[in-house]
């Protein structure tokens, strides 16, 4: 058995999971948060045991990686670091170059760096994580797993924007889509709910970031995020689709720069912007149930946007054999799921089973629709890390 680490490095965080492969057994998971701060938090949880948490200064990602590797030895999770045979890294933007995961070479590292203008917050953070692991484990090979790769099968009419053509030719302005690793996982897990000959799935990855994907025969045909993760459905703090004129209009009205407004569309909008209460749907759900009008509107707006995409993808796929809910809201909020399905039930004949909807939360998988629902609806907890570990093994030929 070989041990493989799946890594998701953000600008100030580093999430990891250690797997025994090919058994796909999680050995431990953990997280370094607030990297760069004096009161950073490092936590590690060996499978089946309690979480160990330390609050201390973590100067940078390299320090976080050293802490992780030391903790693996300290908690007797591995006897020697030589047991680690591969590290898989989430890389958010793979541009048009990558339709699959790839081993990270010096050349690939440069390509990921060159793609930074398309993902200024994410790709540099992903690279920082990679470099820290490479330094700490110089003999181990690394794999990049791109968030965009699963969407590489979209046709031009699904990925092009109707802007001057040279925007695309010179600057690669187009829809890329994100959360691809999650949508891929959901479509693979979703197969068990399909009957013979069925292959059309709509996956709803709705957490603080949210995107939908239309999948036919295991391949993505359309997805709701775009050049960046800003468009598509409404999210915790992002607008989703809006008229881009809002940027120039608001800039003229307020004297703020376009960059300032753009930041507000990313960080102060969505559920937070409408409710004025929180970006966390738990708070907004509570507010709505207590009669707060803006919380109610945030829920309705959120549900309407997701329902609109379900309708659009139903048409795009020529029908639908399965609807999948996943991520923070999709896996946990019976309330949001009902609000969404209520909006498509008349047109699509989808019916929720109240009991299963209320009980399929906190990591449970299964049907939430009734037997006579025209399209079955299921909840599948997503697992991007397992896809990263699988790809790392297959590319590095780890057995």
Q: Which of 30/236 has CB closer to ligand ADP? A: 236
In the Cβ-directed half-sphere of 3, how many Cα atoms lie within 13 Å?
Answer: 17
Q: Provide the 10 A C-beta neighbour count for residue 2.
A: 17
Query: Which residues have a Cβ under 8 Å from the Cβ of 128 and sit 6 or more positions away?
Result: 9, 60, 61
State the Cα angle at 63 between 14 and 30, rounded to 5°.
35
Catalog residues that contact ligand ADP under the rule CB under 6 A. 207-209, 236, 280-282, 285, 327-329, 332-333
- Strand pairing category for 210-216 and 52-56: unpaired
Q: Which of 174/181 has CB closer to ligand ADP? A: 181
CB of 289 to ligand ADP, least distance (A): 12
Q: Which of 51/282 has CB closer to ligand ADP? A: 282
CB of 336 to ligand ADP, least distance (A): 6
Three-state DSSP class for 165? helix
CB of 259 to ligand ADP, least distance (A): 23
CB of 359 to ligand ADP, least distance (A): 13
Q: Which of 285/339 has CB closer to ligand ADP? A: 285
Residues 25 and 40: beta-carbon distance below 8 Å? no
Q: Strand 84-91's sheet: what is its strand order?
A: 52-56, 40-46, 25-33, 14-21, 2-9, 84-91, 141-146, 102-103
Give the residue numbers annotated as catalytic, written as ranges: 147
């Amino acid at each position: 058995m070989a041990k493989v680490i799946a890594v998701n490095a953000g600008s100030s965080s580093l999430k990891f999971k250690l797997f025994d492969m090919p058994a796909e057994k999680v050995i431990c998971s953990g997280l370094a948060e607030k990297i760069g701060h004096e009161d950073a938090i490092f936590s590690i949880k060996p499978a089946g045991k309690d979480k160990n948490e330390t609050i201390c200064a973590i100067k940078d990602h390299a320090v976080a990686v050293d802490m992780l590797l030391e903790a693996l030895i300290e908690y007797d999770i591995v006897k020697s670091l030589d047991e680690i045979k591969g590290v898989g890294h989430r890389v958010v933007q793979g541009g048009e170059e990558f339709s699959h995961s790839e081993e990270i070479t010096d050349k690939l590292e440069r390509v990921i760096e060159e793609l930074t203008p398309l993902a200024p917050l994410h790709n540099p953070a992903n690279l920082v994580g990679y470099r820290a692991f490479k330094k700490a484990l110089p003999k181990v090979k690394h794999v990049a797993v791109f968030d965009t790769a699963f969407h590489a099968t979209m046709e031009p009419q699904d990925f092009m924007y109707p802007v001057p053509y040279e925007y695309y030719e010179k600057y690669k302005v187009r829809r890329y889509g994100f959360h691809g690793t999650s949508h891929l996982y959901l479509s693979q897990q979703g197969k068990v709910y399909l009957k013979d000959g069925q292959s059309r799935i709509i996956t709803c990855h709705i957490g603080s970031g949210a995107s939908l994907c239309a999948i036919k025969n295991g391949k993505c045909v359309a997805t709701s995020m775009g050049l960046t993760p800003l468009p598509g459905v409404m999210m915790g703090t992002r607008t989703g689709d809006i008229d881009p004129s809002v940027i120039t209009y608001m800039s003229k009205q307020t004297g703020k720069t376009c960059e300032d407004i753009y930041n507000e569309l990313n960080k102060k909008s969505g559920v937070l912007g409408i409710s004025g209460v929180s970006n966390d749907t738990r708070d907004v759900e509570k507010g709505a149930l207590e009669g707060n009008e803006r919380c109610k509107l945030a829920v309705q707006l959120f549900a309407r946007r997701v329902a609109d995409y379900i309708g659009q993808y139903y048409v795009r796929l020529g029908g639908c054999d399965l609807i999948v809910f996943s991520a923070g809201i999709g896996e946990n909020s019976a309330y949001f799921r009902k609000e969404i399905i209520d909006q498509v039930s008349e047109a699509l004949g989808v019916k929720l089973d109240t009991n299963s909807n209320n009980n399929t939360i906190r990591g449970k998988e299964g049907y939430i629709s009734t037997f006579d629902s025209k399209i079955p609806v299921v909840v599948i907890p997503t697992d991007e890390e397992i896809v990263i570990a699988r790809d790392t093994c297959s590319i590095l030929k780890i057995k």
